[in-house]
Structure 1
């Protein structure tokens, strides 16, 4: 047992004083899959798989976060031999331990250690690297610092990687990546501590513990004393290995206690530091997506291989590329494009690929070349198109130089073809594209133009002193109708092309060019005052102050239309003015007879007018008068009639409207309620223009949500009938139709108050259509009283006195049609007398109280009657009758 007990008073005081400092946040609830994919790994490609935890303790692996001055980075994975939650500061004791799972051998830690392994915790997975170099950053921390430095048994950890090209001493030929920088020694408590490789060690003890354990150091507690539990830790270390791209490797990241489960140790893995290779892109010199041009025999074209956002800028990134199979150009014969591999140095965002095209002396036209990123296992790709072509011939044009003795001259060569940038070299020393010279000029001027591919063209021109140009305007009449051709005539003197600068009606400065001197015509389409400001030839400019006027005439029509006031009236009006030109004027109408500028008493329709002036110029217009919509009567729909109060209005014409029933007194729409519901009127309607319309049979309805109500139920005697009287809520004339159902039970199924004869209790319904298209469906219930008013006396005395001598059947003959049978029984059920098929209410059609000629004994007897109702239904009734003594 590695155990040290310090009875120190200062140690708790130090802890208490620093507990307010920020510390680590720890979470053991994430799975190994989440920790590797979402925390540890970087890159956009899914090249990690078969992720599994090591050990049977879920509290030994998890996620941590906190200020970067605690561990060295602010978030990542923690692998611990104890409970990861014990890692949070302050450093409350020198011997924090959590026994997780006891002794448990590990295939790699057991080979690296001479003692038994306890509480192993870690993660293992397979991965495919997209670049040759794979790295990640980590920190090792332990409670065994510093008391157990140089102890033969120390907690142990390792990063064991196996796969193609690796042949090491651990399981599956793995090697350990957790090495002291610059050595082959594994990172451990004995190899990195206060005395050995101390530059990689960070102390976190109290001064008293250092003093007792002989660990050296100063009199201050470690700088992370209040923020992390472990007594010591390494600086940030980087695990690095070169691998084969696109091959599959396996890595085990594991930490364990050695010899006993006491004193926890942990490994912190930086989030996002497991870098399998970030994405890259190919980019050309041009910002757009067009193909890059590579000219044969010219300077190389440069491409950029640009890091992606997921690439680690702190590492070199090596990328392979190749020539695409669809390329027409042949590598070596037509071009060279580097070695097929390029490295972006650490700290840089891009590397360059230089593409050169050979000048083979053969005109082949454009040949395409595709360069493609060559990473077959990546989830991304990129390519760029280049076009190899011969440079266009360089052509230089330079006209003879004319100059005025008192004006500067600008030389303007016309250059086409070649490959930019172009270099200009003038014989007078200038390198400008278009230099300006001050007279006098030399007798000749030479220009050399050279392009980026070395093409060179030389031009030499003579120079001439020139007299200023001249402009004169001969007498001319510039008068025409609009849209007729018209031109200004000029006499020009000068050299080469001549340009005239002018203003029209004091507007903006404009120019007009002419091909050489002589009499020239200048086509114009706009009228007004043309003020000529200057004239300029190939050498000189001469101020001019000449004004000439051009007129284009058109008697443009300006109509004023007054539409007819009503749909059927002829009171429309057209009044016309036009622009004055040259008289006399003639006016030609169609559709109306006047020959002046005013037409009245017009109906709605289309008219036309042509105005012609004394010059023969004209304007013609079609003029349309529109009548208002015809005034129409009040139309009522179902929606309006169902939403009281009633809001009625006419239509067409020009609202608002007024209404009258006597043709004299008019009232607005709000006063319709002065009319009587259900009455007919001769309604006159007048709109805002005074137009009138008569609605001779206007029916004024009553607005109601429904047309009628039915009783809650209707009582009816069996085989009887009853009149159904609805409560009608609107006038009778407002209803168009009645439909009772079932129709066969009503004497009139289309009447407002029919007689109902229902055979049994049941629902009945009424559908009402009103004259506005509304339909009401009403339902009620007819309750048929099943008791038949059949009467048989309860006693009789057959003594021959003519009173109550018979027991007979009496009934309502409107309900009972026939007595089918009438039987009398003794109290013991013996049939004593019977009769069949007779009408009710026949006094002597009954039992006379005698049996076999003898009067029956005084007693109570039972009778049974079967009868048929007027509806055809058969029923049965029974009762008792007493035969009385005299």
Structure 2
């Protein structure tokens, strides 16, 4: 028995050791759960297939994003895979994994974790969508999956985590069911991206006493913004004791530091009831806490939340215009159903005007008229003050309104009004109803509700068929709660009375007013004022508001456009996209005709159907030509279906629907709707952008639209591949793709290129300095085409803060910055614009100050002094004539030269100013002397005439040889050339013109006689300076054809000659000189006679030189190797040292006209021949050869034995020795005969003899 038990134990151990992993150990072996919902009863013993296990599972890998974001430890050991396909009607699911015992008693899975994927089972092809992990020690995990695409396969990855070394793997069940969007605060938490939250009493019950619940919303994946809106709240209120509270925290816990705001509690100024209250959380989680005391219970609250990957959009303040004209108000109020005319305005200054509220405000009306009890400018948010403006100016001190006081007496405590603002209009009604939306707001909410300190307003209508109050002259107040006669005012609508119409705005950002009115339970944020009227009639409308009891806290009423009570047309797009589309869904969309106020009797409207789409071909819509609303009916619905055709190139077509009616005063278009009809689904990334630039290692948000669900690839790039606004973090440049889907099988794709490119920006400007009061253009050169570009500082000196080019008008020196921020990547450039100024007084004055200045007079030009310390870079530049000082000085000295306008340009950085002054100068320009340069012969006279256009007096200097010294036309008779300078005085200015009277004297000649030159040389014969008015003539003794008139004649004769020069002038005087010129010939050639080769120990050489042709007298000089060996002789005998040969002997010949040289080479040939040699290899006398002094270029040596046999021969001068071998063998010792011939440069010597070979 023990043996058997041991075998069983060993067998089980062996089975555990070699157990196989489950079939769904990785994604390729996934278990398909089929179409959701999938939720079998795992407790049924028969239904064992509903139980799964991850025992013995191993870790799998899917490539990018392998480790789910929420898995504890970040590992995927023991993970198993499942798949399911979504329904075509359910998009929100609750996925539950519960550890249960296995069919055979296997342990239940502990600490389960689950991740949801979309994609395909391949590496880098699955995208994690959601993830959830159980709390330690728990066997159940819940995953809320919202917005899944119909008919798409999703994947579940399930494993466990262990806090110890023990594996918690085991069996589990899976339930994939339709998500219930309703949560109670007592449930504790949700990871869903959207949902509904109620108090613990649920939608239909009240909350209980002594509750303390927190509900934490942490969507997965984490979101950038959670928007939470209370559709209504009604909790216990107590002015002076702590009571029920509803609190909101930006975070995953109810920590005081995370508190956003609180409703209720002990603060009597905090409203405990209302509608349309919104908060935002940016941490990724929002915590809602509700605490009740033990005294009373109320309805509680109902709220909803949505999450977004996009950062929260913060509400903006509304804008108001207190200067709006009457026409601007009419424009804001008019519609095709009404025509209004303002008949009276009675408001305090700045108390009324128009308002505009965009998409990012929470007012609830887009535009219209605003009336206040204070000033319009106090109305825009954010709500950071009590709203009284300045306590000394908020009370306008203006009167009230009689009609408002009547209402206060009839229906209130009779408190009189003040600070009234009233606008009255006449309105022509084209329809049977006059209606408009309005919102009343006040700073007296909530603390002065149900008190005497509250303001009043009314909308009073009168006209045909209006049954008003006699006390109000038959005016009817239509500012009432829907379906009642309750006037809307602070005491009738607040956090205690009719709270279903009250909005708490204590933390609002768009408006200052603490409280606002709304429709019932916030179905819309405005109330409707309406009156049944007779069509085609004019009605009087009085819009009035006023303070009561005091004038400090302000109130205001926002009034939208005046319209008829006509139907509205809308579309319910059941496909999920806001256009009609072919072939995407079998469920028709719906055209909805709706009236706010159901008619008391049947009313009919004409239906006009149009557009570019064709009814019956592109779509079906059974609209009658006339639409009738039965009594009590406020909505009529017609299905519209799109017909699929084969033409998918039709583009976008339109369907238009109009409701018209003639109430008796002309056909009026009451409502109009245009619907797009597309032939196929189209998705669009970033509104058609084809490339997104982003910084390296950063991420960017992509926005896609056009479908209801999306899937992005490559999935590894995106944080949420199924989002319409995913964050993309590319590792490299490349395309990303999205598949959009509508319905079960209608898909479309789009792509965009992600380019990792760092933006660049450079500021270009024509100058970086300007003068105060000037502007300069700044241009940004970017590689983003201006995307993400902003300029700063925003101090009013820039014409704009966006755009590639802006105008800067700084008043002081300023740094300007161009910032480019593209998808989180920021760069900037800056430029420093220097703002300069100049001294105020730059006028120029002249010293001396005269009307006219004499030419040559010194003048000082100066300006008022300034402090140079205030103008560090100031510079001056003068333009003018006769400046004596530098043109860069502030003040200058000049010599008056002529009438001139002097200018000084003064600069200081970017400032430039030009000052000028004109000096009128009396000049000698009008003074002339004729003739200008007279020439007379010796003994002659000439008349000198002075012309002066300005007259004056004259005095000549010198007066020598003049007929008069003070006349303007004297006769001059000088004997020599004389310069006369008459002194002419004109208006006190003296001028000294000059004239030179030249006297023509006899001409001058200076020839040099008996000059000697060489043939070919050039020589000038006359050294005298030529004189004007003299004629020169040359002749030659040897050449009768030679002549010249050049006084400075230069000649190059080849033979000696005698030349004569004759000079004569106009006065008849003449002179003549003669000079002889000797011409020498240069030597023609020089040669040295040939010299034979020298021999012997002490050779002697005779050298002879010969000069050809014109040697003439000259000298000889002989050198050998640079050493002088002879002079003054053409013949030289010389004994050179043998050691100095070979060498060149050089002769040089010189005479007056040239130098010649020639040379000859001296060579020595000397030798010795031995008579015995011993070729025994001892290195001494081993070779027989002649020993030569000098070099040879020819050698022949022959050696014979005693029998006449040739034993050795050579003709190589470089290697001519005999080594004693004959035919390669040592020759015998003996006497041998030799014959040797030596030569150098053709000279040969021959010798013969005997030599003894000794062994």
- TM-score with structure 1 setting the length: 0.29
- Give the structure, 1 or 2, with the largest relative contact order (CA under 8 Å, sep 6 or more): 1
**Bigger Rg over Cα:** 2
